[in-house]
Structure 1
Amino acid sequence: MTLYELAKKNLRHNFKQYILYLYPMISSIAIYFTFVSLQYNKQVNDSAVTVEKIGPAFSAASILLFIFASLFIWYSNAFFIKKRKKEIGLYSLFGMRKKQIAKLLFNEILILGILALVVGIGIGFIFTKLFSMILIKLMGANQIAAFTISTKALFQTCAAFSITILFAALYNYQMIYKYTLLQLFQAERKGEGLPKAALIPAALSIIFILGGYTILLQPSTSNFWKNNGFLFILLSLLALLLGTYLLLRSLSIWVLNRLSKLKKISWKGVHLIGISSLLYRIKGSVLILSVIALLTTLTLFSMGTAFSFYHNMNSLLKFTSPHSFMYTVPADENAKRIEEQINENGKSNLVYSITLPYIEIQGDLSESSRLSDEHPLLLFSESDYHRLAEKMGVKNSFTLNDQQAISFYDGSLDQKEDPYTGKRARLGDRKEVTVISYERYSLVNQWIFAFPIVISDRLFQQMKSEAEVSQMQFVKIKNEKAAGKLADNIQNLSVKDENLFEDSPELPVSYFVSFYHEYQKMNETYGLLVFISSFLGFVFLLATGSMLYYKQLTEAFSERSRYKTLKKIGMNTKQIRQSIRNQIRIVFVLPLIIAIAHSSVIITALSNFLQINMVYPFLVAIGLYILIYYMYYLFTVSKYYRIVNDC
């Protein structure tokens, strides 16, 4: 019998044992193939009407996805080999040379890899249509997804995971030469020493975590952030990282030691066995639990942020695009055609339509540190502004002199900061005004390359000698989300300047922006963001759940003799199950609680900075995560019990 035939025989007769290894390989390949199939899917790309290229987003995410999938496979491979060390020792004891054993393992991994590729790609192909439909729906498109298979996705998946599987096979090949026969037979007997509680590191863990929270929760308007904001963010994240490790390494040990000394708790039922087991094994789990806590924090934060943006999309867009249409009135018969188009949409749907004169001029607002020294400004007179503000439902009663001006929200993420009040602004070559108020709402839609300024009526008349006066039409309708055809027609009739959408257009420019076009673009952008973050979050969840799962199974194999002894001294099945549940529950819950606390603080800080409500979407993300996480817990408890009961 050749080594290849022996490898096939092992797979046939011990297939249940190999499922533990096949599961991460098949799931990783299926997820990756599904994702890259969407990247090359023509229907998905055609659905992205306003987002010109979704390829870079998918490419970056697919690289991250592949890295974690490979680490997932690598970790499961390490568990699988560790579990088989005794079997490998028996091969050596029966006379097989190390080279033959290495080739046997190499052949097994290659066979499993080919099987995983075939099954994984098949599963991925089945789910491609489902996820295509979900993505297209999230992006607000109306296309119907069809079954398609991408040769690019197929080749990319096969090439990427062939390399991963080959490296795993080579690792197994060279691993055989590392261990002696005695080490292979004693692999399951190795355990971690009982860790000692250190009060100082335990106290430092609390100090680091609370310090990180304090930094993150500082108000965005505080001087704390102005000079070294990015540095303080890195410092807070580093504090959370160190605090998490020390909390699991020292504080958890200190708490368990204290519990073990409380007779009312530790001597109750099977608590003594559970606490002593946790104390004995905690040292080897600290690094894994720390990684899981931080990965879960990242997952909950990214999913919560993406869900929040998608959930708050309408309110964000209404804030940045207060008008359904805003366009420069054409100087020809097209102005009348546009008016007819709006009337055809239905007068009952019209909220307001108002025309205001404006002057576009190069200005200097560089004192604000937000705009350059040569930036396009849209000048409106004070009286015209009040007319528009009344239509918008904004109440203001200020009066300006010739040296004063009013500025408006500029689209910055930090909505609390006021960078303009008290700053000077140069209008054209000679005139200079001082901004006396920064209004925290959008006067014009944000998606134009010009900054609106309101000046006095008298100064506006004086500025007419320096620049041409144009007319801006502001229109608000009720059915603005469904006004795609109307928006396209108005754009075709109003826009003539080819450099409208350039970053630095030459003046004057014919402007056109619509709520519908920006809604479509935002829907596609945030829909794509939700999909990618959810996909990656699911992969992170698989990785963290599987790390815990394999770690607990490793301990289960080493604990079999211990539970066999407990059975002999009278411990019944119910007590064994309870002891297992208690131990595994703590291992699963501890990093989850830490991650929820960390991500809650980070989400709160981001919510305060962006001035949007992120509570409900974040709770949804936590709920979905806990649901799948709980399934991992139940599956681990069940498998753990079967292992220790089979002794």
Structure 2
Amino acid sequence: MSLLDLTIRNVKRNFRLYSIYLFSMITGVIIQFTFSSLMYNKDIMDALQNRDNFQTGVAIASVVVFLFIIFFILYANSFFMRQRKKEFGMYLLYGLDEKQITRMVFYETLFISAISLVAGVLLGGLLSKFFGMLLMNLMQYDQAISLNFPIQSIASTAGVFFLLAIIISVQSYMMVNRVQLTELFHAKQKMEKPIRTSAVMAIIALLLLGMAFGLISSGKGSVFWQEYATSSMIAVAIGIIAGTYLFFRQFAGWLLQRISRRKTYHEGNTVLWTSSLRFQIRGNTLNLTFISLFSAAIMMLLCFVTINYKVQFEAVGRNLPNDMAFHSLDNATNGEIDDLIKSSDHGVRYHLKQEVLIASPLTDMNVAFDNPEYFTPDIQLVSEQTYNELIALRGHDQSVKLQGNEGVILSQGSDFPMPFAPGEQPGFTVKTDTETTFKLVEKKDYAYLGWASDPVASMLIKPAVFVISNEAYQSLQEHANKKSFEIYGLQDAKNAEELSKQVHAIVTQTPGAYYSSFADVYSKQIESSSLMLFASGFLALIAIFALASVIYFKQLREATDERLQYAILRKIGVENREMKSVIRKQLLFVFLPPLVLGVLHSWFIIKYYILDSVKDFPELTGMVWGIMGVYFLIYLLFYVSSTNIYYKIVNENH
């Protein structure tokens, strides 16, 4: 019998085992092809405004996807090979050497890879259309996505899996070559020893986790983070990592030990599901610790990019509140720009010409502005009436009412916007032809003109603006330098990139002229945040799938090892229903703790360090719980699948 005949016979005889491995390989192909095909989809490329950035982002994400696929496939192969150690022992006994077994495994891998490639590309093509539509929806582009099977994606996917076949063969050779023949026959008979547990260490595990959660929930404004930020960060890291490790290493074992000492321990099936778990703690500790911490990191990343995506739509409007605004030039140039705008596809909703006074600050800019390096060095004074006129057209509830020398700072992007209480209002002195001190009554996180922009470089610098009372403005008007700005409200402003390029080219012929356009930033910000959300969601799904698979494959391996014990239980009269109950409880103890700890770690950090910073978006809390709900659902599916297959394995010879 040739190696090829032996390979085909192995596949037929162990189809159930091969089907699990085949499913892993097909999943890997689908992931790789689906993601890579987005980069070569013509419909997507036609819709994008920033193609180079998109392709760079997808290329970087593809590398991460590839690393996850390698991890997932190699772990699946490790499980697959361990299940076949006794089979390989027989081959060695019959005279085959390690190289022949490796060649046989290589043939099997190529055969499975070929099937996986065909099935995965077909399914991946359908999914790539779906994910392409999802990406366009995230970017709010009305672009139809056709069903597409790019040759480049098929070739790259085939190349990746041929490379994986070689890596798998090397891994298989190393696993076969480093184990002695006698160990191959008794590989499944090794039993781990129950770990020694301590009530003191179990309590320390809970105290470490409690300390970490307490420091996190104290919030950014607490003394721990204001005065001892580095020490607090180290304490939180130690609390979460060491606390999670000890939770699985000591607390779980201590809890099982306490259960075993209860008077009712021998009632029902408690003794059956707890006894094997006590022997598995040592081998599961690192896996469960890693899964808890890594899944928490994945959820935090996904929640962060989701919040960032949601906030971006309003953030662009806050950063560039005017659809188009520029320094008023000579009448001929202003008329040329006005004609250009009116002849475009973007109707004019309003057009204002507004005047400001230019002043030099004599007081430190830090008194009025957070991060003053992002603002112009001079101050632009706008009257209460002029400011309120524009705010009314925007429909924003940000109007002001001032008198005398009162002023309001427009510190857009401020970390701490606030009204100043009477008696605590700081003074700020500016100079026109004379020095004037304004009493600052409020610092607003709001913009009158917004960032100066560029169609290529995006945001450049923010004008520093004070709103002052009408009477103060009038008293300074005759003796100060003035500037005027043309401010336009446009229809469909987010798609006005081409118009913005044309107007920008005219305005910038005057050196130093201010220009700002909503469209310059919108497409870049939304496309980048949409791609980040899409890629992070894709990677998070893969990561959670891979991490859950770690538990899944480990439990299947333990099910194979425990076949004999369950056969004995069946012989002494334990019914199938009781065995199913034992399996469900045993696996629940393995699946549930990493789920709970992962959610707790991520929720505390997200709640107190992200959600509390975006309180203007109350709907984000529901979105975060939705993400965690999906995480829970994926683990639930793996748990149900594991219990079913576990039961089938232990009943295989029944």
TM bucket normalised to smaller: 0.7 to 0.9
Measure, in 1, the Cα distance between the counterparts of 2:197 and 2:576.
32
Two-structure CA RMSD over aligned residues (Å) = 3.8
One-letter identity of the residue aligned with 1:304: C
Query: Residue 484 of structure 1: CA displacement?
Result: 5.0
Give the aligned partner of residue 538 of structure 1. 541
Q: CA 1:596–1:287 in 2, change beyond 3 Å: closer, same or farther?
A: same
Query: Residue 274 of structure 1: CA displacement?
Result: 0.9
CA contact (8 A) 2:408 2:444 kept: no
Pick from 621, 635, 638: which aligns with 2:644? 638
| Deviations 1:483-505 (CA, angstroms, capped at 9, x unpaired) | 457786587557623389xxxxx
Query: Residue 161 of structure 1: CA displacement?
Result: 3.2
Q: Does 1:308 align with 2:321?
A: no
Q: Secondary structure at the match of 2:562?
A: helix
Q: CA 1:321–1:421 in 2, change beyond 3 Å: closer, same or farther?
A: farther
CA contact (8 A) 2:320 2:516 kept: no
Q: Does 1:93 align with 2:97?
A: no
Measure, in 1, the Cα distance between the counterparts of 2:275 and 2:153.
50
CA contact (8 A) 1:197 1:253 kept: yes
Q: Secondary structure at the match of 1:276?
A: helix
User: Which segment drifts farther, 221-230 or 104-113?
Assistant: 221-230
CA contact (8 A) 1:400 1:455 kept: no
Q: Secondary structure at the match of 1:53?
A: helix
Measure, in 2, the Cα distance between the counterparts of 1:268 and 1:331.
93
CA contact (8 A) 1:405 1:433 kept: no
Measure, in 1, the Cα distance between the counterparts of 2:284 and 2:509.
60
Q: Does 1:387 align with 2:404?
A: no
CA contact (8 A) 2:322 2:516 kept: no
One-letter identity of the residue aligned with 2:584: R
TM-score with structure 1 length normalisation? 0.86
Give the aligned partner of residue 279 of structure 1. 278
Give the aligned partner of residue 611 of structure 2. 607
| Deviations 1:306-326 (CA, angstroms, capped at 9, x unpaired) | 333444555545544555554
User: Which segment drifts farther, 275-284 or 606-615?
Assistant: 606-615
Measure, in 2, the Cα distance between the counterparts of 1:609 and 1:490.
33
TM-score with structure 2 length normalisation? 0.85
CA contact (8 A) 2:205 2:243 kept: yes
Give the aligned partner of residue 626 of structure 1. 632
Give the aligned partner of residue 508 of structure 2. 498
Measure, in 1, the Cα distance between the counterparts of 2:170 and 2:131.
35
Query: Residue 52 of structure 1: CA displacement?
Result: 5.9
Measure, in 2, the Cα distance between the counterparts of 1:323 and 1:474.
7
Give the aligned partner of residue 472 of structure 1. 485
Measure, in 1, the Cα distance between the counterparts of 2:380 and 2:478.
10
Structure 2 unmatched runs, 5+:
453-460
Give the aligned partner of residue 581 of structure 1. 584
Measure, in 1, the Cα distance between the counterparts of 2:370 and 2:312.
28
One-letter identity of the residue aligned with 2:355: P
One-letter identity of the residue aligned with 1:174: M
Measure, in 2, the Cα distance between the counterparts of 1:499 and 1:254.
76
One-letter identity of the residue aligned with 2:444: R
CA contact (8 A) 1:329 1:335 kept: yes
CA contact (8 A) 2:198 2:254 kept: yes
Q: CA 1:47–1:499 in 2, change beyond 3 Å: closer, same or farther?
A: farther
CA contact (8 A) 2:215 2:236 kept: yes
Measure, in 2, the Cα distance between the counterparts of 1:385 and 1:373.
24
Measure, in 2, the Cα distance between the counterparts of 1:234 and 1:310.
30
One-letter identity of the residue aligned with 2:451: W
Q: CA 1:325–1:7 in 2, change beyond 3 Å: closer, same or farther?
A: same
Give the aligned partner of residue 190 of structure 1. 190
Measure, in 2, the Cα distance between the counterparts of 1:238 and 1:445.
46
Give the aligned partner of residue 113 of structure 1. 113
Query: Residue 415 of structure 1: CA displacement?
Result: 5.0
| Deviations 1:575-597 (CA, angstroms, capped at 9, x unpaired) | 00010011112211111111111
| Deviations 1:403-428 (CA, angstroms, capped at 9, x unpaired) | x864223325x456999985978779
One-letter identity of the residue aligned with 2:484: Q
Q: Does 1:248 align with 2:258?
A: no
> How much identity, in percent, do the aligned residues show?
24
| Deviations 1:204-236 (CA, angstroms, capped at 9, x unpaired) | 322332232233334334465457757754653
User: Which segment drifts farther, 38-47 or 19-28?
Assistant: 38-47
One-letter identity of the residue aligned with 2:382: S
Structure with larger RCO (C-alpha < 8 A, sep 6+): 1
Query: Residue 153 of structure 1: CA displacement?
Result: 2.6
Structure 1 unmatched runs, 5+:
501-505
Measure, in 2, the Cα distance between the counterparts of 1:485 and 1:99.
62
Q: CA 1:286–1:445 in 2, change beyond 3 Å: closer, same or farther?
A: farther
Q: Secondary structure at the match of 1:439?
A: strand
User: Which segment drifts farther, 574-583 or 293-302?
Assistant: 293-302
- Superposition pairs for residues 97-176 of structure 1, below 5 Å? 97-176=97-176
Give the aligned partner of residue 32 of structure 1. 32
Pick from 489, 501, 524: which aligns with 2:527? 524
Give the aligned partner of residue 441 of structure 1. 445
Q: Does 1:593 align with 2:591?
A: no
One-letter identity of the residue aligned with 1:626: F
User: Which segment drifts farther, 424-433 or 595-604?
Assistant: 424-433
Q: CA 1:130–1:307 in 2, change beyond 3 Å: closer, same or farther?
A: same
Measure, in 2, the Cα distance between the counterparts of 1:304 and 1:131.
19
| Deviations 1:100-139 (CA, angstroms, capped at 9, x unpaired) | 3333233323333343334323332232222111111221
Query: Residue 304 of structure 1: CA displacement?
Result: 2.4
CA contact (8 A) 1:357 1:470 kept: yes
Give the aligned partner of residue 503 of structure 1. none
Measure, in 2, the Cα distance between the counterparts of 1:159 and 1:433.
70
CA contact (8 A) 1:360 1:377 kept: yes
Measure, in 2, the Cα distance between the counterparts of 1:161 and 1:360.
65
CA contact (8 A) 1:357 1:380 kept: no
Q: CA 1:250–1:495 in 2, change beyond 3 Å: closer, same or farther?
A: same
One-letter identity of the residue aligned with 2:652: D
Query: Residue 567 of structure 1: CA displacement?
Result: 0.9
Q: Secondary structure at the match of 2:484?
A: strand
CA contact (8 A) 2:298 2:543 kept: yes
CA contact (8 A) 2:326 2:507 kept: no
Give the aligned partner of residue 456 of structure 2. none
Count of aligned pairs between the two proteins: 631
Q: CA 1:406–1:68 in 2, change beyond 3 Å: closer, same or farther?
A: same
- Superposition pairs for residues 549-588 of structure 1, below 5 Å? 549-588=552-591
One-letter identity of the residue aligned with 1:510: Y
Q: Does 1:451 align with 2:463?
A: yes
Measure, in 2, the Cα distance between the counterparts of 1:446 and 1:219.
31
Q: CA 1:67–1:238 in 2, change beyond 3 Å: closer, same or farther?
A: farther
Q: CA 1:388–1:635 in 2, change beyond 3 Å: closer, same or farther?
A: same
CA contact (8 A) 1:557 1:643 kept: yes
Measure, in 2, the Cα distance between the counterparts of 1:447 and 1:464.
28
Q: Secondary structure at the match of 1:196?
A: coil
Q: Does 1:9 align with 2:22?
A: no
Q: CA 1:366–1:41 in 2, change beyond 3 Å: closer, same or farther?
A: farther
Query: Residue 388 of structure 1: CA displacement?
Result: 4.3
Give the aligned partner of residue 412 of structure 2. 410
